[in-house]
Amino acid sequence: MKFADANGRPVAAPRTRGRIERAFLPAALEIIESPPPPLAGAIGGTIIVLFCLALAWASFAAVDIVASAPGRVIPSGRTKVVQPFETGVVRAIHVRDGQTVKAGELLIELDPTINAAERDHLQGDLFAATLDVARLSALLTDDPLGSFRPPLNVSGPLVASQRQLLSQQAEEHRAKLASLDSQKAQKQAELKTLLETVAKLEATLPILQQRVEIKSTLYAREVGSKANYLEILQVLTETQHELLVQKSRSHEAEAAVTSITEARAQTAAEFKRTISADLVEAQRKATGLGEDLIKATQRTQLQQLTSPVDGTVQQLSVHTLGGVVTPAQALLVVVPAESRLEIEALVSNRDIGFIQIGQEAEIKVDTFNFTRYGLMHGRVQSVSQDAITQDKPADRSGDATFGAAATTSEPKGKEFLYQARISLDQSQMQIDDRTVNLSPGMAVTVEIKTGKRSVLSYLLSPLLRYKQESLRER
């Protein structure tokens, strides 16, 4: 390399001082004269290269976007909760936690004394009502005793008492009709006698009239005596009067016969009307008692709590004989047998829009540290179409994800959650040297993979959010 002075004349190249010579220079000149160390340049270049590589990697490398949701392990058929229908006293407990039961097997027996007494009372009333129906139905026939058909399951004394009452009522009604028939027959006999008397008088009257005419002619000719004439005239007059009297009596007798006939028909109709009304009332009562008996029988049967499905008894909460249970109290649950396990997760309102059926999910079981024992895997099976509202916990860690919006439109103190079902690839975990089965009720954390984003986008997300939300005024 050639060197020149200020006027452009060539000059000799400056001599480079060695390290020993620089050591005798003043400190400032020593620093100026000393060349930069090569290691510093190498480090700077390395940093620049690494930064460029990191920037390139952040631009192309992707991370998973996950929606985290708490959940629990449940059987696919859901656990069946066994609850009492009403308040009762524990009479017997036939199962224990972990016991395998069959559908219909008796689990817990409550004291049925009160319900059984009510059922038996209604059963007796129903028997009496059905006997009333049978008795009243028989009374409406021509042969009450022959038509009486009591129910087969009624006791003999009740049937005998109803049969006796039926006989008394039928005999009483028959006696009334017989009395009216007797009165009618008597009046008909009187009418017959009166009609015969009237016919006799009507036949005698022309003869008497002829005799009066003869006596009158003889008396006018002064052949016969006046006494004989007056005597036969008196007989004629008396006969005519007697005829009128007998006709009047015959009319009265006819009216009496008609009246008795109508009275008999009215008595029979009134009897049937009364019996029919009583029959309708008895049938209505029997129907009502039958319905009440069904309810009482059902309530008595509900005192025996049975298993709804084949499964295993869990969470038995009653252990005291004679203890009182309340309506709808959860006494135990039955985990259905041979039902696969799955996860029921509660997805927050801000994540539900990104959840789709078939998405992969990672499950962290709270019981087992995932950093030591690993994760479980599954897929989204279903998502509820409507949210459930529950109280928001005072402090939920992890609720505000990095780069997420801090505001929400949910009511204060409330949160909207959606139920999601997650299938499991397996229901066992290898814990140290043994295999542990998952149990319903275990708490888990589900991380559903909803997408991917670059690392650079992830790192710049807070800055972009602050840029978007800063320097604004209403």
pLDDT one-digit tens code per residue, 223-265: 667 777 777 778 778 878 888 888 888 888 888 888 888 888 8
Phi and psi at 165, nearest 5°, equal -65, -40
Residue 449 contacts residue 64 (beta carbons within 8 Å): yes
Return the pLDDT at 398: 45
The domain that holds 287 is classified in CATH as 1.10.287
Q: Averaged over 163-167, what is the pLDDT?
A: 84
Q: Is the pLDDT of residue 346 over 90?
A: yes
| Average pLDDT for 51-70 | 82
Same-domain pairing of 37 and 128: no
pLDDT higher than 80, residue 424: yes
Query: Are 354 and 288 members of one domain?
Result: no
Q: Kindly state whether residue 330 falls inside one of the protein's structural domains.
A: no
- pLDDT score of 4: 54
Model confidence at 15, pLDDT cuts 50, 70, 90, reads low
403, part of any domain? no
Structure confidence at residue 318 as a pLDDT band (50, 70, 90) = very high
Q: Is residue 22 part of a domain?
A: yes
Residues 234 and 380 in one domain: no
At 407 the pLDDT is 56
Q: What percent of the chain has pLDDT over 90?
A: 28
H or E segment to which residue 133 belongs = helix 113-139
Both 419 and 394 in a single domain? yes
Say if 286 falls within a structural domain: yes
Q: What is the SS3 assignment for 395?
A: coil
Mean pLDDT of 46-50: 87
pLDDT above 60 for 103 = yes
Strand partners, 447: 68, 362
Q: How confident is the model at residue 338 (pLDDT cuts 50, 70, 90)?
A: confident
Q: Are residues 291 and 381 in the same domain?
A: no
Q: Tens digit of pLDDT for each residue in 441-467? A: 889 999 999 888 777 777 777 776 766
Average pLDDT on 37-62 reads 79
Could you tell me if residue 16 is inside a domain? yes
| CA dist., res. 302 & res. 155, Å (int) | 27
* CATH code for position 347: 2.40.30.170
**Does a structural domain hold residue 187?**
yes
pLDDT of residue 379 exceeding 90, the answer is yes
Residues 248 and 192 both lie in one domain: yes
Q: Tokens standing for 320?
A: 């005291």
Q: Which residue has the higher pLDDT, 376 or 10?
A: 376
Residue 316, pLDDT score: 92
Specify the range with the lowest mean pLDDT, choosing from 68-77, 146-155, 157-166, 217-226: 217-226
The reply to whether 142 and 261 lie within a common domain is yes
pLDDT for residue 182: 84
| 318 and 455 inside one domain | no
Q: Please, is 265 exposed, middle or buried when counting C-beta atoms within 10 Å of its C-beta (0-12, 13-18, 19+)? A: exposed
Give the separation between CA 59 and CA 45, rounded to whole angstroms: 21
Instruction: Say which CATH number the domain at 99 has.
Output: 2.40.50.100
Average pLDDT of the chain?
Answer: 82
pLDDT at 10: 63
Instruction: Give pLDDT tens digits for 270-281.
Output: 888 988 898 999
* SS3 at position 250: helix
Judge contact between 415 and 390, C-beta under 8 A: yes
- Mean pLDDT value of segment 110-118: 92
**Is residue 246 domain-shared with residue 271, that is, in the same domain?**
yes
* Residue 401 banded pLDDT, cuts 50, 70, 90: very low
Mean pLDDT of 195-212: 80
> What is the pLDDT, as a whole number, of residue 291?
93
For the chain, the domain total comes to: 4
pLDDT value at 162 more than 90:
no
Residue 287 and residue 147 share a domain? yes
CB neighbour list of residue 123: distance below 8 Å, 6 or more residues apart: 293
Max intra-chain CA distance, the chain: 226
Report if residue 451 sits inside a domain.
yes
Here the contacts of 234-240 (C-beta below 8 Å, separation 24 or greater) are: 235/208, 236/205, 236/208, 236/209, 236/211, 236/212, 239/201, 239/204, 239/205, 239/208, 240/205
At 422 the pLDDT is: 92
What confidence tier does 404 reach under pLDDT thresholds 50, 70, 90?
very low
pLDDT at position 306 is 94
Alpha carbons 24 and 41: distance in angstroms, whole number: 26
Asked whether the predicted pLDDT for residue 266 surpasses 70, the reply is yes
Q: Which residues contact 345 (CB under 8 A, 6 or more apart)?
A: 69, 70, 71, 419, 420, 421, 422, 444, 446, 448
Q: Is there a single domain that holds both residue 292 and residue 312?
A: no
Does a structural domain hold residue 450? yes
Domain residue limits at 9: 3-60
Q: Are residues 311 and 232 in the same domain?
A: no
The pLDDT of residue 211 is above 70: yes
A 10 A CB-CB count for 403 gives 15
Q: How far apart are CA 415 and CA 423, in angstroms?
A: 25
> What integer pLDDT is reported at residue 421 of this predicted model?
92
